Amino acid sequence: MTSAATGANADASTTGDGGARRPPRPSRLDRRKARTRQALINAARAFLAEHGTAEVSIQQITDAADVGFGSFYNHFSGKDELFSAAIADVLEEHGRLMDERTAGLDDPAEVFAASWRLTARLVHTHPQMARILARTGLSYLDSDHGIARRALRDIRRATEAGRFHVDKPYVALAAAGGSLLGLLHLWLEHPGLIDDAACDELAEQVLRMFGMSREAAHAIAHRPLPALTTDD
């Protein structure tokens, strides 16, 4: 009896072929806590996109999240911590989205350019994400999360492959990131001034700034993009 029970417990914590232990399944309480935390983050994202962080109360956030006021402090020490978590959530979602959409591309210069062009088009496909990036992205260009880390990775790979001619990758990141965030802001605030063609033109200029020839930069900046559907 004891031996059978022990075997059953072992089976529950190992793979079917006796391999490494599986992580324990989250309890119902853990799942409920995770849902509550994510609801607060989602509410904070909505406020970030529409209003920024100014003049938003914790009561407004918990009301929008449909969460009890007292539950807030079970997850966050205050608004600053919540908004930081919301921004990190956006950065990681954006990074994963770009990685997924560029996974089939081999040329690191094209990976960088496609991510840049797709990010600009978030204005149409993921407007909340675009607004949060436009509002907060500049202060996260030196972040280890999301857009900055991945863009720096792509710049370095393209430089190592001889596609870019960049001596200081962080300077290149500042130039590319600043121009992209400026474009996002302009597109969101004055949509009649910017379109997909303008986005691709600026991407071409960024590639030329990184040392690519006019012909190569134009070709890469105008190649068909991987699909990015609304709220993908």
Q: Is the pLDDT of residue 43 over 80?
A: yes
Task: Establish if 68 belongs to a structural domain.
Answer: yes
Domain hosting 64: range is 26-76
Residues 163 and 55 in one domain: no
Task: Establish if 14 belongs to a structural domain.
Answer: no
Residues 72 and 115 in one domain: no
Residues 59 and 104 in one domain: no
Mean pLDDT for 17-43 is 80
| pLDDT class of 36 with cuts at 50, 70, 90 | very high
Task: Establish if 155 belongs to a structural domain.
Answer: yes
pLDDT digits (tens, 9 = 90+) for 60-113: 999 999 999 989 999 999 999 999 999 989 988 998 999 999 999 999 999 999
Residues 149 and 127 in one domain: yes
Instruction: Give the total number of structural domains in the chain.
Output: 2
Task: Establish if 19 belongs to a structural domain.
Answer: no
What pLDDT sits at residue 232? 53
pLDDT digits (tens, 9 = 90+) for 176-220: 999 999 999 999 999 999 999 999 999 999 999 999 999 999 999
Task: Establish if 43 belongs to a structural domain.
Answer: yes
pLDDT greater at residue 59 or residue 231: 59
Residues 148 and 186 in one domain: yes
Residues 71 and 153 in one domain: no
Task: Establish if 13 belongs to a structural domain.
Answer: no
What is the CATH classification number for the domain harbouring 213? 1.10.357.10
CA angle, residues 93, 158, 196, in degrees to nearest 5: 55
Residues 65 and 92 in one domain: no
Mean pLDDT for 2-28 is 56
Task: Establish if 12 belongs to a structural domain.
Answer: no
What pLDDT sits at residue 6? 45
What pLDDT sits at residue 13? 46
Residues 92 and 205 in one domain: yes
Residues 95 and 120 in one domain: yes
Look at residue 114 and give its three-state secondary structure.
Answer: helix
Residues 100 and 163 in one domain: yes
- Bridge partners of residue 14, in order along the sequence: 21
Question: CB-based contacts of 114: which residues, under 8 Å, 6+ apart?
Answer: 101, 102, 105, 223, 225, 226
| pLDDT class of 18 with cuts at 50, 70, 90 | low
Domain end residue (candidates: 76, 95, 112): 76
Residues 148 and 125 in one domain: yes
Domain end residue (candidates: 51, 76, 101): 76
CB-CB contact of 69 with 151 (8 Å): no
CA angle, residues 22, 25, 31, in degrees to nearest 5: 150
Residues 72 and 143 in one domain: no
Task: Establish if 9 belongs to a structural domain.
Answer: no
What is the CATH classification number for the domain harbouring 30? 1.10.10.60
